[in-house]
Amino acid sequence: MSTAPKYRKAPDGEWLGYPELKIEDIPYESFQFTKYIAQSLVDNRKGRVHVLMEHEFYQRFLKAVRKKFGGINSSNVHNAVLEAVKAWVEGVEQT
């Protein structure tokens, strides 16, 4: 007699291998236990850039974030960096 544990069926579909995953690609019934798992899978495939800044420039950056957004938090820093990167990319694309 086997006493091996029974596991629930694994989610089906090809979404695990998608290079660009969208929330619509993930079958909802596979993630009924939490609404954040599917979004986490999508976000984990997004590009990332890690930037090191000298202390003085970093302080200027934080001061500018506070001035524009009213405070410093991860969301405001993210929005400031994304805005700057988008402006730079658009400037390069126009040349």
What pLDDT is stored for residue 14 in this prediction?
A: 56
User: Would you write out the chain's pLDDT as a tens digit for each of its 95 residues?
Assistant: 556 556 555 555 555 556 677 777 776 666 656 767 778 877 888 888 999 999 999 999 999 999 999 999 999 999 999 999 999 999 999 99
Write down the domain spans for the chain.
Answer: 11-46, 55-94
Q: What is the DSSP letter of 26?
A: S
pTM of the model: 0.64
Burial class for 90, CB neighbours closer than 10 Å (0-12, 13-18, 19+): exposed
